Amino acid sequence: MIQSGRAARRQTMRAIRPRRSPAAMLLAIAWAGAMAVLWLWWQNTSAVQMNTAEWLIGAGRITGLLGGYMIALVVLQMARVPALERGVGSDRATRWHAMSGRYAISLVVAHVVLTIWGYAVQADTGLVEQSVTVVVDFPEMIKATIGTALLLVVGFVSAGAVRRRMHYETWYYLHLLTYVAVYLTFWHQLATGSEFVANPTARTVWYVLYGTVGALLFWYRILAPVRLNLWHRMRVESVVDEAPGVVSVLITGRRLHRLGAEAGHFFRWRFLTKGLRWSANPYSLSAPPRPDLMRITVKAAGNHSTALSRLEPGTRVWAEGPYGAMTAGRRSRNKVLLIAGGAGITPLRALFETLPGGPGDLTLLYRAGRTEDLALWSELREIAQMRDAKLMYAVNGPDGSRPEITTERLKEVLPDIDQHDVYLCGPPGLAEESYHALREAGVPSRRIHHESFEM
């Protein structure tokens, strides 16, 4: 078993200090920003005209301003700022990004349609003729048109049905076109937006908004990872088979305990070898980090994860992180239940070793298809014996029948289940099944801690 070093244990075996998620505060700030954008439109509108053309143009101005604001939020949510990635969780930040992207594209499309329609009514011309006039004659509009087209491409490839048919690397690099689109559309906002043309204060605020977002993106997506990898110099030490299709990758480096990683965290890993150097995938730590060693445990589920079994010792590693909110800091009760399914055992194995607790406080339930699929089982038994913790597993029957996780079974195993915090990690089906059973058993949603890497 990979035993944690003293420094790592001092970091993770600390007193329980529940950290509140900043999600509500961040959402309130985002909404306040949207209200400020609407106030900017109102301040620059002397009177609301009743004719059709003015109504359409006014609606176009509102949707344009809100679209520009949402685009800034979309880029911010791509910046991997720790307050999002560790505070609210990467999965929630990803959902926010996807939702904000849909809103941004919808607002931009509405802005284009409403504005051109309004100008066409005002000039008594056709929509096609007016579209050509706007693109050709208005300042910065050719760049804005190209940028809008790129935003539509990104939105199309990010739609679920399309995304699932694409290789992750293809989708990822097409997704980077968002930055080009933002750059191309930004200048049009200042050149043609009536809120900015005659209002130096508004222009300054818009520059500050986009400049701050750009600075955060540059710091956390470029400078911070470069600094991390130059300092810690990580390499593959060895690859160990754990179960059919499951391997552990041991990674060495300098002063790894200073990364600030905890049990439950994950990194985005890029292995600098043929076939892997152009993709970075998220894998959780499967043991508490030591000053000279970290470990991830990966189940073969695609080209990238399957190729990890062929890594050679000495392969250079490029990592970004740590990320994730499913750590000991979320805990609020003495007793904890951990429910793992398949490869979801990875972060929970690290938490099982390090979560503060006395005899009988910790319980781990491991769901797998077969007993031979119970990766890291010998380590889990050793931890359970060392910590006087409960360890259980549920596997399919000889006939393939699948044991369900129900409210009744949870209460049978843990009569005081409603007094537990629960950490949940596994496939979507298991997560949904377990969540509903836990809620029916009286566990509040705020005490069910779950993160998903599903795209």
- DSSP assignment of 403-449 equals ----HHHHHHH-TTGGGEEEEEES-HHHHHHHHHHHHHTT--GGGEE
Give the residue numbers spanning the domain of 424: 328-450
Examine residue 202 and state whether it is found in any structural domain, yes or no: yes
Residues 223 and 239 in one domain: no
Among 266, 291, 323, residue at a domain's last position: 323
Beta strand pairing status for 317-323 and 335-341?
Answer: unpaired
Res 438 pLDDT > 60: yes
Average pLDDT, the chain: 89
**Residue whose pair of structure tokens reads 């329609």 in the numeric block:** 117
Tens digits of per-residue pLDDT, 36-90?
Answer: 999 988 888 776 666 889 899 999 999 999 999 999 999 999 999 988 888 888 8
Residues 280 and 333 in one domain: no
CA dist 129 to 64, 112, 132, 249, 290, Å? Answer: 21, 14, 5, 61, 67
Residues 217 and 344 in one domain: no
Res 199 pLDDT > 90: no
Measured between alpha carbons, how far is 131 from 137 in angstroms, rounded to an integer? Answer: 10
User: What contacts 312, CB < 8 A, 6 or more positions away?
Assistant: 236, 273
pLDDT of 345? 93
The DSSP result for 179-206, as a single string, is: HHHHHHHHHHHHHH-HHHHT-HHHHHHH
Tokens of 130: 């007016």
Residues 282 and 296 in one domain: yes
Of 112, 104, 153, the C-alpha closest to 131 is 112
Res 18 pLDDT > 60: no
Res 272 pLDDT > 60: yes
Examine residue 15 and state whether it is found in any structural domain, yes or no: no
Q: What is the CATH number of the domain that holds 297?
A: 2.40.30.10
The larger pLDDT score, comparing residue 194 to residue 294, is at 294
pLDDT of 167? 80
Number of structural domains, the chain? 3
Residues 223 and 82 in one domain: yes
**Residue whose pair of structure tokens reads 């609020």 in the numeric block:** 332
b/e map 320-346, b = 16+ CB within 10 Å: bbbbbbbbbbbbbeebbbbbbbbbbbb
Res 4 pLDDT > 70: no
Q: What is the CATH number of the domain that holds 110?
A: 1.20.120
Examine residue 358 and state whether it is found in any structural domain, yes or no: yes
What is the rounded average pLDDT of the residues 161-184? 87
Res 17 pLDDT > 60: no
Tens digits of per-residue pLDDT, 347-377?
Answer: 999 999 999 888 999 999 999 888 999 999 9
Res 12 pLDDT > 60: no
262 neighbors 390 (Cβ within 8 angstroms): no
253 neighbors 235 (Cβ within 8 angstroms): yes
328 neighbors 263 (Cβ within 8 angstroms): yes
Residues 161 and 242 in one domain: no
What is the rounded average pLDDT of the residues 375-398? 92
Tens digits of per-residue pLDDT, 244-269?
Answer: 999 999 999 999 988 989 999 999 99
Residues 243 and 304 in one domain: yes
Looking at residue 79, its amino acid is: A
Sheet bearing 235-243, strands edge to edge: 235-243, 246-252, 293-299
Examine residue 302 and state whether it is found in any structural domain, yes or no: yes
Examine residue 291 and state whether it is found in any structural domain, yes or no: yes
Residues 137 and 188 in one domain: yes
pLDDT of 13? 44
User: What contacts 450, CB < 8 A, 6 or more positions away?
Assistant: 326, 423, 424, 425, 431, 435
Among 306, 323, 340, residue at a domain's last position: 323
Res 240 pLDDT > 90: yes
Q: Name, of 131-135, 229-233, 393-397, the range with top average pLDDT.
A: 229-233
For the whole model, what pTM was predicted?
0.84
Q: 145: helix, coil or strand?
A: helix
251 neighbors 294 (Cβ within 8 angstroms): yes
Residues 379 and 310 in one domain: no
Res 10 pLDDT > 90: no
Residues 332 and 319 in one domain: no
Among 323, 348, 383, residue at a domain's last position: 323
What is the rounded average pLDDT of the residues 405-431? 92
Q: What is the CATH number of the domain that holds 336?
A: 3.40.50.80
Looking at residue 324, its amino acid is: G
pLDDT of 2? 59
Examine residue 5 and state whether it is found in any structural domain, yes or no: no
Examine residue 161 and state whether it is found in any structural domain, yes or no: yes
Examine residue 18 and state whether it is found in any structural domain, yes or no: no
Residues 334 and 389 in one domain: yes
pLDDT of 16? 44
Residues 363 and 284 in one domain: no
